Structure 1
């Protein structure tokens, strides 16, 4: 039954507008037209110029016959065109599909076919992959070459048209489309697909808007931040930061490839204030040769997410003058949606103690309506005792629309009115969550649950360990035992398995100590995550000891 307040007060265009992050760039271009927006090598683009280029892109796509609701893919590193695509593609009413640049042609072919891409923006570095990927597609997409003269000069492309020429076809005053319905899709992001074909995660304008604002709130981002793109823009649309930086009229310092020495140089040269990345990026900064390390004399903030960063990495980065904020999220929730919100009282703690607190995943973002740790079947919350393990469940507007063309997987992921993350955690008395493992990564040895994250943290405490990952190895007696894969820092070649095991025995219960240690380089995804499924296969193949 309608109340008296609903009967005569329906929404109108004056008081109800669909939320979309596309309005952010429109405002910044109007208010700060001459402020810098994009930096890449010797290129400098203002917000007015960037806004014009985005509208040209939208107009040109429409003139080329690409219709609202259709998909435009991008196989690009962190270059200006990738930033522009986050606005130009949806301004035409289309859906942006940013492709993982580390994938092979087979995987990309699947994504282009499944997402029904009508156009693909292609960087010279990946033209061979795209050339192979489009073979056999029933509906061949328009291929647009994006030259990168900073690195490749006048490279030969494979497309029908070059990006700058395409922009010249477009109208800088294009009457762009804002969505009438904020539930309209804005982007398509594919999961890693380690256990089968990757799933297509569909984002809507409302969720992108809210998560972009949440980034600003949780990080207390000021006007005109200088943001260094160490995080791939193809990953969860750069955690929605293209839209966040547009909202604050900041500077996007584009970085084609993660290079720790180059990151240090850019932070100093461009006076970078913010950057994001997986713990492996922070670890690379900590482990630079002493001659290349820098302690910055201006405020620098970093957000990190992915596998829980060991406390030793957080401590090491903060010694460089970089303030670390730990966030957590997944592709299905637009990137980060929880934060280890800081308390002033913790400032008095020793550095190592502060780092251990910062390693927690924390509490929900403002724009995430609900977060709990619960039994995934009964949905009953676990006790807030820091011991009981349950699954992290989420609810809010920044949960995906669902998986493209996969009703069953969507219903399973959103069962019971919650998004089921698959991550196992404990809930502390203060409401902060702390991940103990992925449900598929937990080791069950002799009936005891072993958190691989806990074992990895002990390994990272060893001064010789540069990177570490722990997986289950089959064992006839115990069912499974921990198997550690370790990369040593230069100069520590004398460290052997016995030394690593002895180190862990001092810090862990006996049943948690690795029974096997393998010294090797760790396989990683393009976003810096260690590929544990590869290591699990390797552990299963080890000769029984």
Structure 2
């Protein structure tokens, strides 16, 4: 056995086969049942000609079919590829072709888009449809792909160096596939509250020896955070609870019904509607003790609102990304409004200055958050971006995350924001996250995304795209006065664009390309 996800899951399934592995709606499956189902699908993929190292795309809503597909691909040493189910034809063509996928497992709801895009992806040759009959030529029903297939694990010997690819990004450009060796990924995303495994068998023993635990990744499985939360939970021997599509009422019903202990969301975009649902309806949430945000930080106002609604809840912010793994936890009292501060999980985390040298604690020098040790191989099909993002320094490979930060005198890392989104106005840098957090602290603001628009004098002006709260119509003057109480003058938005609904990814990440265009139109002379 190696630190290979398929090896490890099979070991866990053998050790705790009767325990429930996952639940979605009225469907539930044990570890042994899920392993057998994935083995059947793996044999079908082999029969369809999918070979080790080839890529299997997954374009599904959350469900047991998604995790079955993940496991099936890994069992035959193929590589699963996550597909954003909101993508339109041109975006799908890009992702199918950039990923070199040879097979696609998809929901029949996407038939029209799949058929149109697949015609322009010559390597894509095998299709498995979930949820009924498909109009895509040659598509096999998911049930038929499983029917009659063997549950014998007669697969090639696997390796901890087998690849796992997660496509990420898309807020400012098309997504890129982050390539991980599985052994490196397991350690990078390891739960820091658990002992680190010295050998693969330690993972099995830990899962087998754990008590009953029910965990819920709220984000879609097409997002890396939900996939990583799934594996982390299985290495703890836990039961996973999913909802097919994000709906606040359905999430809380699932928490109540399945007695969820810990749930993971992606920032305010999920936390706000979940909080609003709790103000309208009551649920028995007595089983829930942990509410974790990863991939996006909770603003102080939203955290306070959740604390008031669920006073016994432990609320945590985890700092990390698809490239960096889980790297740090927010310190007590930290928030985008007050300043984000994180305590690193390991000594492989640093802040590197412009010369790629460690920032001296307490110096106030700005640099990039960086990680060495357990990091990805690079970006699929993009050697230039790989070279920029993963430089070698004194014989050691580093990941540059792009997050701008400094190191406090006590060793904590103060993060200001993503460098690529920083707005340069009159020589001053404004980080959108800080301004967004202040705006969302106003009762008339439901959501906000901050960006820059061109300005002849200052280079850029700060602009805010705002979705008002229901029943509110905030004015420029009202929001301006609110911001000036909490921000330096140069950080205060000069342009506001009010929209009925904010455009975000299914995981809740801001679409800065869209926001910039909306703000640009609002700033244009009448």
Q: What's the TM-score once normalised by structure 1's chain length? A: 0.86
Query: What is the CA-CA distance between 1:544 and the residue it aligns to?
Result: 4.7
Which one of the candidate residues 30, 36, 50 is aligned to 2:20? 36
Find the counterpart in structure 2 of residue 330 from structure 1: 321
Match of 1:205? 182
Alignment correspondent of 1:410 = 386
Quote the residue 2:202 is aligned against: none
Over 3 Å counting, the alpha-carbon distance change for 1:217 and 1:261 in structure 2 is same
Q: Does the aligned pair in 2 maintain the 1:285–1:293 contact within 8 Å?
A: no
Between the aligned partners of 1:51 and 1:358, the Cα distance in structure 2 is: 46
3-state DSSP of counterpart to 1:523: coil
1:22–1:243 Cα contact (<8 Å) kept: no
Does residue 363 of structure 1 match 2:340?
no
Q: Distance in 1 between matches of 2:341 and 2:135?
A: 44
> Offset of 1:276 from its aligned partner?
1.6
Q: CA deviation at 1:332?
A: 2.1
Structure 1 position 218, deviation (Å)? 9.7
Q: Spell out the pairing of 1:82-161 with structure 2 (5 A cutoff).
A: 82-147=66-131, 154-156=132-134, 158=136, 159-161=138-140
Residue matched to 1:517: 496
Q: Secondary structure at the match of 2:421?
A: coil
Contact kept in structure 2, 1:311 and 1:359, CA below 8 Å: no
Q: Relative to structure 1, is the Cα distance of residues 69 and 504 closer, same or farther in structure 2, using a 3 angstrom cutoff?
A: same
Task: Indicate if the aligned counterparts of 1:214 and 1:365 stay in contact, CA closer than 8 A.
Answer: no
Question: Which residue of 2 is the match for residue 190 of structure 1?
Answer: 167
Question: What's 2:233 paired with?
Answer: 245
Q: Secondary structure at the match of 1:110?
A: helix
| Cα distance change, pair 388–486 in 1 and its aligned pair in 2 (3 A) | farther
* Cα pair 1:72 1:120 within 8 Å, conserved: yes
State how many pairs are aligned.
Answer: 505
Alpha-carbon deviation of 1:191? 2.9
Contact 2:336/2:433 (<8 A) preserved: no
Tell me which residue corresponds to 2:481.
502
Cα distance in 1 between the residues matched to 2:77 and 2:103: 14
Q: Does 2:376 align with 1:400? A: yes
Alignment partner of 1:432 is 2:412: yes
Aligned to 1:421: 401
Instruction: Confirm whether residue 309 of structure 1 aligns to residue 298 of structure 2.
Output: yes
Which residue of structure 2 aligns with residue 4 of structure 1?
none
Aligned to 1:543: 524
Of the three residues 24, 36, 39, the one matched with 1:55 is: 39
Match of 1:6 in 2: none
* Counterpart Cα distance in 2 of 1:488 and 1:199: 33
Give, in whole Å, the separation in 2 of the partners of 1:169 and 1:472: 58
Asked whether the 8 Å contact 1:294–1:320 carries over to 2, the reply is no
Distance 1:218 1:360 in 2: 27
| Offset, 1:48 | 1.3
Q: Distance between the aligned counterparts of 2:174 and 2:434, measured in 1?
A: 30
- Is 1:532 aligned with 2:512? yes
Alignment RMSD? 2.6
2:55 counterpart (54, 63, 71): 71
Task: For residues 69-113 of structure 1, give each alpha carbon's deviation from its aligned partner in whole angstroms, at most 9, with x where no partner exists.
Answer: 111111111110111122211111111111111111222222222
SS at match of 2:178: strand
**Distance change (3 Å), C-alpha of 1:470 and 1:195:** closer
- Deviation at 1:386? 8.5
What residue in structure 2 maps to residue 273 of structure 1?
Answer: 261
Tell me the SS of whatever aligns to 1:327.
strand
Mapped pair 1:319 → 2:308 = yes
- List gaps (5 residues or longer) in structure 1: 1-16, 148-153, 347-352
Question: How far off is 1:323 after superposition?
Answer: 2.2
Q: Secondary structure at the match of 1:362?
A: strand
SS class of match (2:7): helix
- Residues 358 and 46 (structure 1), Cα distance of their counterparts in 2 relative to 1, 3 Å cut: farther
* CA distance, structure 2, for counterparts of residue 463 and residue 408 of structure 1: 45
CA distance in 1, matches of 2:41, 2:14: 19
Alpha-carbon separation, structure 2, partners of 1:143 and 1:284: 36
1:179 equivalent in alignment to 2:158? yes
Using the size of structure 2 for normalisation, the TM-score is: 0.89
Q: How does 1:164-175 map to 2 (within 5 A)?
A: 164-175=143-154
CA deviations on 1:264-308 (whole Å, 9 max, x unpaired) are 111111111122221111121123372225473223322213343
Cα distance change on mapping 1:93 and 1:38 into 2, 3 Å = same
Question: Shift of the alpha carbon at 1:194?
Answer: 4.9
**Residue 193 to residue 534, structure 1, CA distance change in 2 (3 Å):** same
Gaps of 5+ in 2: 197-205
Contact 2:73–2:80 (CA under 8 A) maintained in structure 1? yes
The aligned counterpart of 1:11 is: none
Alpha-carbon distance in 2 for matches of 1:212, 1:175? 29
Which residue does the alignment assign to 2:64?
Answer: 80
Q: Which position in structure 2 is the counterpart of 1:381? A: 358
Give, in whole Å, the separation in 2 of the partners of 1:446 and 1:534.
Answer: 24
Deviates more, 1:462-471 or 1:232-241: 232-241
1:284 aligns with 2:264: no
TM alignment of 1:208-219, pairs within 5 A: 208-214=185-191, 217=194
Sort the Cα spacing of 1:24 and 1:274 in 2 relative to 1 into closer, same or farther, 3 A: farther
Tell me the CA shift for residue 359 of structure 1.
Answer: 7.3
Comparing 158-167 and 47-56, the one that deviates more: 158-167
